Amino acid sequence: MDYSLKSPSIHFKKNARISSIEEYQELYQESITNPDTFWAREASELAWQKPWDEVLQWEAPDAKWFTNAKVNVSENCIDRHIIAGKGDKTAILWEGELGEKREISYKQLQVEVSRVANVLKAKGIIAGDKVLIYMPMIPEAAFAMLACARIGAVHTVVFGGFAADAISDRLADSQAKLIMTSDGGYRRGKVIELKAVVDKALEQPNCVESVIVFERTKQGVDMLVGRDDWYHDLVPSVSDDCPTQGFDSEHPLFILYTSGSTGKPKGILHTSGGYLVGTYVTSKYIFDLKDDDIYWCTADVGWITGHSYIVYGPLANGATQVMYEGAPNYPDFGRFWEIIERYKVSIFYTAPTAIRAFIKAGDDLVDKSDISSLRLLGTVGEPINPEAWDWYYHKIGQGNCPIVDTWWQTETGAIMIAPLPGCMDTKPGSATLPFFGIDADILDEQGNTCSTGEVGKLVIKQPWPSMLRGIYKNPQRFKEQYWSDYPNYYTVGDGAMRDEDGCIWITGRLDDVLNISGHRLGTAEVESALVEHDAVSEAAVVGKPHDIKGESIVAFVILKDGFEDSDELIIKLKAQVVKSIGALARPDEIYIVPGLPKTRSGKIMRRLLKELVKTGAVTGNVTTLEDSSIIDTIIDIVAL
Ligand code: 7RM
């Protein structure tokens, strides 16, 4: 394999926004020593209805960016471009799984978003109210988000793969008053019945007054009179003019739930001005976005990548982007390459897990399409293994496209560590260097910077505009989770190391968070789903390395008296997890065990189980275990 450093081509460099490493270093230096100057200059490219007093007010861990400024995020993603004469430019090139096509200009986007915003207002939604969005990958999902932003409502998008319980948990926490959904969505040719899931979620106590249903799949759904309305009955009948009111820069923009170390996901809160600036600036520089690019991010709007790099970042830049509804393998794994050829995609951003699936599907499917329009590739969601990087570089990039391996999180809002493609040499597997304004370091337990090659905890030592402003309704957990390892530093939860060139390598999570196909899930969430089943008294869940998914879920389960191990029960337990979280959390393996490895204080030592599923053995000291013989018992069960 070819591990050599890859430099951008002379052509790429010549046209890049940042084209020399000296330029990066100079700007980076400024952004760290003089962040106000750097961020004020970048922010002034956007539209503010009232300028800020201060760029940053920082009292760790609370940041206020662009204080007292007034801004409308939707205006920046739409109206700003129309005023600049780009109203006829295509904003979204949408393709449905069945092959339907829609082309939406910035002017049309303004009309659609304004109408939805007026519908929300007519339903009594005012600034600060929460709106839950549970939709497939259709333009209306983006309209709904931008409509919320337009009137200061706070959206909480729930990925369409989550189950009813996940929705009702999020409804209970966010107190959302309105839901935007659709009858269904297409996935691998099948209809995913979203409205039916919403109906089920609404069987739990909730504050939802209205449900607006977009008709996509037409299979027929129940509509509750007085609560449910069809999108097509409401939207065409309201005005297409919704003036953009300015909101305080720190006005909440959205809450996005993400998994942590407990059974319940936490609501990550992002606000307006700083998030807008962060996603705008990172999209511009890291994707080197130009006016004539055709950009495509394959994420789902239900995840942070869809928020920041489908909706807010690209649209704030006035980009033209492809949005695709369905699965990468429908009708086969050639679909993405056909889409790239059809729309002449120049920038392509996807996940390592997808790349590994493409490799497995075979090169023939790539060769069928002309993908020479590509000029830049990106990855996100998990560490990319060098084999996948190498294939992506040579087979998809045809040796011509830099790869930006972008490290970031739901919490960070925007990309934090990634190469700037016109000026940095890249290496397979490294996210390379921190972005402007990101003061990243790797620390040991004592808080000293790790030496070259030494793995430690990744931290961010200064605030940045798109940082989370808190965990919704839980300031205590916010402090403990992110700000308590080292005074005033943000602890990421990932391990990392620096190599001899100063490049950063992310080594993976240090906590009980799994990464399944780039989807973030807590071990505790899957465990609590398992113990919801009558037969289960206790469960421990760990991740096991998986060729395509990165990690797969392995569960160890202790049964209650009166229940017996059987294939049937294992199937039921898997179904239980699917029912309470969604198919993305289905365990690959479940082992019924008589006990779990625990410390004397009763903590499950998942670390040992993780080693066991990975290697088949447990090395090192097990004397801290309450009952060390349990390890041998479990090894035998797994080996069977
Ligand atoms: C954007 C996103 C965050 C976690 C993060 C990491 C892992 C994400 C990379 C990565 C290595 C990358 N948000 N992660 N990107 N690891 N290299 N380029 O995924 O909140 O869902 O997950 O994902 O562990 O902490 S997320």
pLDDT at 640: 82
pLDDT in tens, 416-457: 999 999 999 999 999 999 999 999 999 999 999 999 999 999
**pLDDT for residue 596 is more than 80:** yes
Give 306: exposed, middle or buried? Use CB within 10 Å, 0-12, 13-18, 19+: buried
The answer to whether 380 and 431 have CB atoms below 8 angstroms apart is: no
DSSP letter at 237 equals G
**pLDDT for residue 120 is more than 90:** yes
Separation of alpha carbons 543 and 549, rounded Å: 11
**pLDDT for residue 602 is more than 90:** no
Specify the higher pLDDT residue, 624 or 586.
586
Mutate to test the pocket of ligand 1, among 309, 382, 405 (most ligand atoms within 8 A of CB): 382
CB of 380 shorter than 6 A to ligand 1 = yes
pLDDT in tens, 9-35: 999 999 999 999 999 999 999 999 999
Residue reference for tokens 């699917």: 578
DSSP lists the bridge partners of residue 486 as: none
Residue 445, C-beta contacts closer than 8 angstroms, at least 6 positions apart: none
Mean pLDDT, the chain, whole residue set? 96
What are the DSSP calls for 578-611, one per residue? HHHTBGGG--SEEEE-S---BBTT--B-HHHHHH
The answer to whether 317 and 280 have CB atoms below 8 angstroms apart is: yes
- Name the percent of the chain lying above pLDDT 70: 100
Residues of the chain with CATH 3.40.50.980: 102-248
User: Confidence class of residue 623 from pLDDT cuts 50, 70 and 90?
Assistant: confident
- Of ligand 1's listed atoms, the one at least distance from the Cα of 513 is 24
CB of 405 shorter than 6 A to ligand 1 = yes
User: Confidence class of residue 403 from pLDDT cuts 50, 70 and 90?
Assistant: very high
Q: Which residue's CA lies nearest to atom 12 of ligand 1?
A: 407
**pLDDT for residue 600 is more than 90:** no
Domain 102-248's class? alpha beta
**pLDDT for residue 235 is more than 80:** yes
CB atoms closer than 10 angstroms to residue 430: 24
pLDDT at 421: 97
**pLDDT for residue 544 is more than 90:** yes
Q: Which residue's CA lies nearest to atom 4 of ligand 1?
A: 409
pLDDT at 501: 92
Mutate to test the pocket of ligand 1, among 286, 506, 507, 514 (most ligand atoms within 8 A of CB): 506
pLDDT in tens, 327-347: 999 999 999 999 999 999 999
**pLDDT for residue 484 is more than 90:** yes
Q: What is the mean pLDDT of residues 595-602?
A: 89
User: Residue 254 — φ and ψ, nearest 5°?
Assistant: -155, 160
The tokens for 596 are 């779990």
Q: How far is the CA of 380 from the centre of ligand 1 (A)?
A: 7
- 59-63, 84-88, 124-128, 506-510, range with the lowest pLDDT: 506-510
pTM, entire model: 0.96
**pLDDT for residue 624 is more than 90:** no
pLDDT at 406: 98
- Of ligand 1's listed atoms, the one at least distance from the Cα of 515 is 23
Torsion angle (degrees, nearest 10) of CA 67, 410, 343, 135? -100
User: Confidence class of residue 310 from pLDDT cuts 50, 70 and 90?
Assistant: very high
Residues of the chain with CATH 3.30.300.30: 513-639
pLDDT at 126: 98
Q: How far is the CA of 305 from the centre of ligand 1 (A)?
A: 10
Q: What is the mean pLDDT of residues 140-147?
A: 99
Residue 122, C-beta contacts closer than 8 angstroms, at least 6 positions apart: 234, 238
Q: Which CATH number does 513-639 carry?
A: 3.30.300.30
User: Residue 417 — φ and ψ, nearest 5°?
Assistant: -130, 125
